[in-house]
Chain A
Amino acid sequence: MGGNLYANPADCNCAPPCRAVIGERRLRPVSSPRVSPELIDELRAIVGAAAVVADEASTRVYECDGFTLARSAPDVVVLPGSRDEMVAVVRKVAASGLCFVPRGAGTGLSGGCLPLDAPVMIGTSRMRAIRSVDFENRRVVAEAGVVNLHVTRAAAAHGLFYAPDPSSQSACTIGGNVAENSGGPHTLKYGVTTNHVLGLELVLPDGEVVELGGEVDDVPGYDLRGLAIGAEGTFGIVTAATLRLVRTPQAVRTLLGMFRDVDDACRAVSAIIAAGILPAALELMDRMIVEAVEAAYGFGFPPDAGAVLIVELDGLEVGLGEQVDAVRAICQTARASEVRVARDEAERAALWKSRKRAFGAVGRLAPNYCTQDGVVPRGSVPEILRRIAAAAERYRLRIANVFHAGDGNIHPIMLFDERDADEVSRVLAAGKEILEACVELGGSVTGEHGIGVEKIEQMPLLFSPVDLRVMSELRLVFDAQRRCNPGKIFPTPGACVETVKVGMPRRQVPL
């Protein structure tokens, strides 16, 4: 199986040798075909010169997404402004026989839009139109480049919102959300992207446009919409999506439980679920995160809190008081040192800002960090946290935790300095161990970040060779030549992938 991780690029045995390096995972064969100047001219003729990026200094901006451990710049970046331009670009690239990689805002966290064997990158950032808004039927048709938060903004005045809200929602795009089946803190009650997308307009790798799903639910045939969501851009490029809007809840209460340690906080999480309460969000931050967030944003967390639990309840005003009391009592039984209820919308907004920017706050603690993403059954959260702590100790790393406790979706944040090659390899090893523990506990290696290039190695832990073959064949139904986003998700024999090169400039993970 491929996706071998090396501490040293010299260990790569591929022939021809790979070009780009994760830490030391080699990515793109040196011999992979390059984009010709003629093709670049033809692409310019389609989308305009300003929408084609071909000089090396500028393409470097596109060399990675939020998973900064792997980098490989494309030869050219094309930014079509409409579906028709997209079709023309894809056809032109198809005629050249080259591979391409779709890209939204580049906020992905698993290297999903890393141009591996793909010299052409096709970005959707200029496709920003909201094509139609139908408040009566609670539908929005948004182009792929529309920023997630802008959908909710367009709907808010009508008492509606778009439910999936990843932490990067002020930057990430609908197209990227569809590719990754993105989640967010409120998925516990509201579900993830696939639960809110009714239809897709997909440009296949040969330029044909297909409609999957539609504006209504009951489309006969296989649910290709459902299959394409979360396919990480390996089926083609989604140019637009029909989204379902949700009624803004009449009332919201946000509680903060301060605990001595994460075990107590986890006990509260289990008890809340057992009581039949389904919060909109149930988020946990450990001591290191609380300290970092406090230092960055000064929200007012007590300095000695070992864990902070955010519980958001929403629904009809009339039913909430009862639920708030129940959650408060549960937290107190679980030995919370303090339970606060956000006084008003401003305090609630400040709290969520702290939560969603927790990753940014961590940036103050170390030059680099890598956010892992794994899932365990809710009841196993305390166990996985113990294993994370043990891994941190064994590999001499600092690992902070801020995560969707209600979903069992952990996000250990591993701090490091990429100039320290030894530390990078310890980060990789610890990450691997944590993911293996997730699988061992009955969970998954990714809840919302995707496999990308980062977790190819772990796929065989979850799936049998038959399962993997079936999935690879499904991809061929859409992309018979594997020209769209090659080298992702599936292990392929003989291909190495690598980690960051020592001495690379520091990059921040986008929010």
Chain B
Amino acid sequence: MSDAQVSGDTARSIGGVAADGAPGAAWRYAAGGAVPAMVVRPRTTAEVASVIAAARADGLAVIGAGKGARLGIGNRPRRYDIAVTTDHLDAIERHVAEDLTVTVQAGVTLEQLNEELGRSGQWLPLDPAVGGETTIGGLIAADACGPLRHSHGKVRDFLLGIELVNGSAEVVRGGGRVVKNVAGYDVPKLLCGSFGTLGVITSATFKTRPRPAAEALYLGRCAGVAAAVQLALAIDCSAGAVAFADALSEGACEAIGIDGAAALVVGVAGSQAEVDAESERLRGHALAPCEAARAASIAMAVRNSALPMNDDALVGRFAVLPARLPALLARVEAEAVGRGLVVETAAHAAAGVARCQIAGDGERAALFAEWLRMTVRVEGGWVVYEAIPDGLRARVEAWGMSGAAVRLMRGVKRVFDPDGIFSPGRFVGGI
């Protein structure tokens, strides 16, 4: 449903790269409700550059795409002609095990990367939801992370270097390939959470970590999600060997096969001795160990609790100071009930991050979304609506970001993409 003006010639190839003519190919790369006119799959960084050069010359809008898992995040682009996929940029270029670094092309998936790193007892400890495969480019562009952010941090804490093709079809590199490096500006940081607005990411270097020797999972049943978060705070997850602590409301629990109003799921990782020691501490807080047979599936379900439950779900994610989260979540639930809406919540409790899935009448949901944004703002956080049903796109803006910093962000955008060919309108402040 693009308003693209793609000529007959361009439709078959662009910049010397053939377009994917398979019926339905374009739908997979829909972004914010817009579908591209063509899909191209360059084989090299140089081919990416020639596609961008041609698109720029023709005034066409481009989004760099991995497998399409997170293209739905963001506002509907003003224009979207070409999905440039990283499917063929699929090489793990260099894993220097003794240096705990890896350089990888953007189209490699996180699973592939971690499989390779696992051979040396290492991993990239990021665990975003796996509703679709997550490529490295998508991981960075969407700043995707999961429960492990509590103990390991986010993409930006691991990304050492970046290579991308900018809006002038130039190859730009930032950062480097070593674990410590302060030469020049930290350009890699800018790409984290840039949602395809600065260029097409082609390659990245990360620091890796040793995989923990032992892991265990603990479950606690709670009266409500606010109580579950409160329990996580009481445990003091910053001490000990807690890898993550996620609170789930009733609907999310159901998906895992836990009955009850809410649960706290705590992951522990470290040496066997550390994990055993944590066991004692967590049992003291009335958490029960999860039998080994179910642990893997529960851990995966917790990770995937971030995904929209269905196509009609409006999903808002926000972070506040952890200690403020229980009271805030209690208010959110009460407000939703009062408005005749259903809210299901999954929270990275110790990190103060929550995702609320709002279901119910569209108009009410839109008003509630506004209320939630205001309420969270007062608490110092920002709500990003990661999933917006098509019917609500006109009413709900994805980012809700304003302020002096947005002007600077527009300046950053111009540096990388002077003609505005990348994902126009999808991002913060109309970027």
State whether these chains interact.
yes
Interface readout for B297-321 with A: 1 if CB under 8 Å, 0 if not? 0000000000000000000011111
Q: Which of B98, B213, B318, B351 contacts A379 (CB under 8 A)?
A: B98
CB distance from B321 to the nearest CB of A (A): 4
Q: A445-B183, A474-B415 in contact; A210/B274 too (CB < 8 A)?
A: no
The reply to whether B380 and A274 form a contact with Cβ atoms under 8 Å apart is no
- What residue in chain B is nearest A216 (Cβ atoms)? B319
The reply to whether B185 and A227 form a contact with Cβ atoms under 8 Å apart is yes
The reply to whether B181 and A444 form a contact with Cβ atoms under 8 Å apart is yes
Interface readout for A465-493 with B: 1 if CB under 8 Å, 0 if not? 01110110111111000000000010000
A residues near B176, Cβ cutoff 8 Å: 375, 443-444, 462
CB distance from B170 to the nearest CB of A (A): 5
Interface readout for B392-431 with A: 1 if CB under 8 Å, 0 if not? 0000000111011110110111111000000000011100
The reply to whether A466 and B172 form a contact with Cβ atoms under 8 Å apart is yes
B residues near A466, Cβ cutoff 8 Å: 170-172
Interface readout for A256-295 with B: 1 if CB under 8 Å, 0 if not? 0000000000000010011011100000000000000000
Interface readout for B76-111 with A: 1 if CB under 8 Å, 0 if not? 000000000000000000001111110000000000
- What residue in chain A is nearest B410 (Cβ atoms)? A477
The reply to whether B415 and A473 form a contact with Cβ atoms under 8 Å apart is yes
Does chain B have a CB within 8 A of A5?
Answer: no
B residues near A192, Cβ cutoff 8 Å: 180
Does chain B have a CB within 8 A of A247?
Answer: yes
Within the assembled complex, what's the spacing in Å between the Cα atoms of A476 and B322? 36
A residues near B323, Cβ cutoff 8 Å: 136-137
CB distance from A201 to the nearest CB of B (A): 11
The segment from B11-19, B51-59, B190-198, B333-341 found at the interface with A is B190-198
B residues near A451, Cβ cutoff 8 Å: 182-184
Does chain B have a CB within 8 A of A303?
Answer: no
Q: Which of B182, B185, B187, B241 contacts A449 (CB under 8 A)?
A: B182
The reply to whether A409 and B190 form a contact with Cβ atoms under 8 Å apart is no
Within the assembled complex, what's the spacing in Å between the Cα atoms of A463 and B187? 12
A residues near B406, Cβ cutoff 8 Å: 221
The reply to whether B210 and A278 form a contact with Cβ atoms under 8 Å apart is yes
The segment from A22-30, A49-57, A93-101, A315-323 found at the interface with B is A315-323
Q: Which of A139, A211, A407 contacts B180 (CB under 8 A)?
A: A407
CB distance from B366 to the nearest CB of A (A): 19
The reply to whether B180 and A221 form a contact with Cβ atoms under 8 Å apart is no
Does chain B have a CB within 8 A of A76?
Answer: no
Q: Which of A208, A229, A274, A322 contacts B186 (CB under 8 A)?
A: A229
- What residue in chain B is nearest A226 (Cβ atoms)? B189
Does chain B have a CB within 8 A of A125?
Answer: no
| Interface core residue of A210, A226, A229, A250 (most chain B CB under 10 Å) | A226
Does chain B have a CB within 8 A of A355?
Answer: no
B residues near A276, Cβ cutoff 8 Å: 121-122, 210-211, 213
CB distance from B86 to the nearest CB of A (A): 21
Within the assembled complex, what's the spacing in Å between the Cα atoms of A464 and B173? 8
Starting from the known contacts A220-B399, A375-B178, A467-B173, 11 additional A-B residue pairs (CB-CB under 8 Å) come to A180-B182, A217-B149, A217-B351, A220-B382, A221-B399, A222-B428, A227-B185, A227-B189, A319-B274, A462-B183, A463-B173
10 A-B pairs with C-beta separation under 8 A: A194-B186, A220-B400, A222-B193, A223-B192, A226-B186, A447-B180, A467-B187, A471-B184, A476-B411, A477-B411
Report A's interface with B, CB cutoff 8 A. 134, 136-139, 180-181, 183, 187, 191-192, 194-195, 208-212, 214-227, 229-231, 246-247, 250, 270, 273-274, 276-278, 315-316, 318-319, 322-323, 375-379, 404, 407-409, 442-451, 455, 458-459, 462-464, 466-468, 470-471, 473-478, 489
